[in-house]
Amino acid sequence: VGNKTWWKEAVVYQVYWRSFYDTDGDGFGDLEGVIRKLDYIKELGVDIIWLNPVFESPDLDNGYDISDYEKIMPKAGSMETWERLLAEVHARGMKLIMDLVVNHTSDRHPWFLESKSSRDNPKRDWYIWRDGSPGKPPNNWRSYFSPSAWEWDESTGQYYFHSFAPEQPDLNWANEEVRQEIYRMMRFWLDKGIDGFRLDAIALLAKPREFADAERPEDIRYLTNQAGVHEYLQEMNEQVLRHYDIVTVGETAFVSPEEGLKYVGEDRGELNMLFHFEVCDEMPSWDMKRFKEIQRRWYKGLWGRGSNSQFLNNHDHTRQVTRFGNDGPYRVESAKLLATLLHTLPGIPYIYQGEEIGMTGVRFDSIEQYDDIAMRNRYAEEVAGGRDAAEVLRSLQPLSRDNSRTPMQWDDSPNAGFTAGTPWIRVNPNYKELNAERDRSRPDSIYRYYQKLIGLRKSHEVLAYGEFEELPEWMDSDRLYVYTRSSGETRWLIVLNHSDEKAALAWPSVFAGVSRALLLSNYPEGADEAGQADLLELNPHEARIYELG
């Protein structure tokens, strides 16, 4: 199981503050708004808050383009408010982790302005500059957000490298001064008493010495996991992280369990846990068999040696009940089933704001209504390439990052109670029926269900530390997922029916004669429970957690 530690027993709640709660009427959520809603978060039972980037930024990629690491962006608030937030989080017995972007900065960061000012500026080497000529970049790599990873700089006659938008130039981690400056800045925040970092795009830090052409430039895996990344992280750990009692989670794109273990192996001294994207990037819609296969492989690869995370959505990925569940007639049941899954599989569960009331994705009518830079750039590229604009819009809608960025739906008042001004992004029109106030008023609500799930995790170690085993009879089922978590004498059985149809299954033969107690279900307790029936009859999207005798 590895060592026991506080963060392995934790549940994390992600606050995308700009869409959380606006207190000054500018249409953006703010830190004061997070403070006012801390009791709402605390009541859920979570331990750690992950706050999306709040640093000074031109805000072209919603804070992921930092222009001053030691200031708070005015839209979010002031340093004073941020400090109050930290104190209020701690006063409630919770922890705060900051989302930090060290792979790149904004192109307005003073370091980049200097770097770009001349070829012999002392900071020239802080970013990645290469020769080329207009229209002939150093190689054929794509970036995440634009057709080329290279941007021509007219005044100094060279290209600079960017893994994301051209306004997000990559730092040169091979440069010792860059690394030292980043470590100093990390200590600046840690010394203020924060509890850790979510490290953005951390698998991208190392770059190859030579930028050779890729055979298939559209497969951007080459941006990640290059030789040298682990040396940087070990150094970061040695010089910074290990000197604090904190937790770190790395956003590691395109990792296999083998590669992932290098980032989070407990014997390696790098990071504590990771996000891999095998589900969110590579499984466009629900595919039970594939999902199970992914879980199996990661469990085998990491368990006992390093920690995984469980999530099905975040600020980059369409809301889980829309993408992976049923956001129509079974929205409530489906949201609860997905929650059961995430909180009972091995790994640390992450809740993305609004998930706990079953918020859904959106379809806006025109590209102008979308804010997502990834989507807008892709739209422009495809339309310029001759594709039909309406068709491009339709094809980009389902996975647009704006699906999860619409404002938190607090109540049925105008703008869902999110702001008294004009929201920076449209509110999902379904807020009148779907909002926190309404959800929480019902005893059988999604929010209340999350409370119970989290409560189970808190009161029983088995969910954090118990071994995971699938029951072979249902391994190949494309809708039933049946598994146990066990630790010492405790053995829990989880049964899920991810489908719009009813399903009946025989009580597992290995547990014949074993008594059971139903700990939690997302339906009123089934009739078969009273009599300990041999046949389990599951409703559509039903989830059950049993304790076995």
Check binding of 189 to ligand ISL (CB under 6 A): no
Candidates 80, 219, 245, 281; binder of ligand ISL (CB under 6 A) is 281
Nearer to ligand ISL, 262 or 401 (CB): 401
- Find the part of the chain contacting ligand ISL (CB under 6 A) among 28-36, 236-244, 277-285, 467-475: 277-285
Nearer to ligand ISL, 158 or 225 (CB): 225
Q: Rounded to an integer, what distance in angstroms lies between the CA atom of residue 525 and that of residue 314?
A: 32
- 70 belongs to the catalytic site: no
The 3-state DSSP class for residue 226 equals coil
User: DSSP character for 136?
Assistant: B
User: Taking Cα atoms as reference points, which of 98, 280, 283, 86 lies closest to residue 200?
Assistant: 98
Q: Rounded to an integer, what distance in angstroms lies between the CA atom of residue 290 and that of residue 71?
A: 43
Contacts of 477 (CB under 8 A, 6+ apart): 288
Candidates 28, 129, 164, 418; binder of ligand ISL (CB under 6 A) is 164
The 410-429 site mask, x for binding ligand ISL (CB under 6 A), equals --------------------
Q: What number of residues does the chain have?
A: 549
CB of 253 to ligand ISL, least distance (A): 4
Q: Rounded to an integer, what distance in angstroms lies between the CA atom of residue 545 and that of residue 336?
A: 12
When CB distances to ligand ISL are compared, the closest residue is: 64
Check binding of 201 to ligand ISL (CB under 6 A): yes
- Of 32, 99, 170, 251, which one is the catalytic site residue? 251
- 200 belongs to the catalytic site: yes
Check binding of 98 to ligand ISL (CB under 6 A): no
CB 117 within 8 A of CB 153: no
Check binding of 402 to ligand ISL (CB under 6 A): no
Say which residue the tokens 């899920």 belong to: 496
Neighbours of 130 (CB within 10 A): 14
Q: Rounded to an integer, what distance in angstroms lies between the CA atom of residue 173 and that of residue 350?
A: 29
CB of 371 to ligand ISL, least distance (A): 12
Nearer to ligand ISL, 101 or 536 (CB): 101
Burial zone of 80 (CB within 10 Å; 0-12 exposed, 13-18 middle, 19+ buried): exposed
**Contacts from 34-39 at CB under 8 Å and sequence distance 24+?**
34/85, 35/81, 35/84, 35/85, 35/88, 38/88, 38/89, 38/92, 38/94, 39/92
- Of 65, 200, 372, 439, which one is the catalytic site residue? 200
- Count of residues interacting with ligand ISL (CB under 6 A): 14
CB of 144 to ligand ISL, least distance (A): 6
Check binding of 61 to ligand ISL (CB under 6 A): yes
Candidates 183, 244, 277, 303; binder of ligand ISL (CB under 6 A) is 277
Contacts of 248 (CB under 8 A, 6+ apart): 196, 197, 198, 199, 241, 271, 272, 273
Written as six digits, the tokens of 260 are 């992932």
Site residues for ligand ISL, 307-326, by CB under 6 A, read: 315-316
Nearer to ligand ISL, 106 or 477 (CB): 106
CB of 303 to ligand ISL, least distance (A): 24
Binding site for ligand ISL (CB under 6 A): 61, 64, 101, 144, 164, 200-201, 251, 253, 277, 280-281, 315-316
User: Which residues belong to the active site?
Assistant: 200, 251
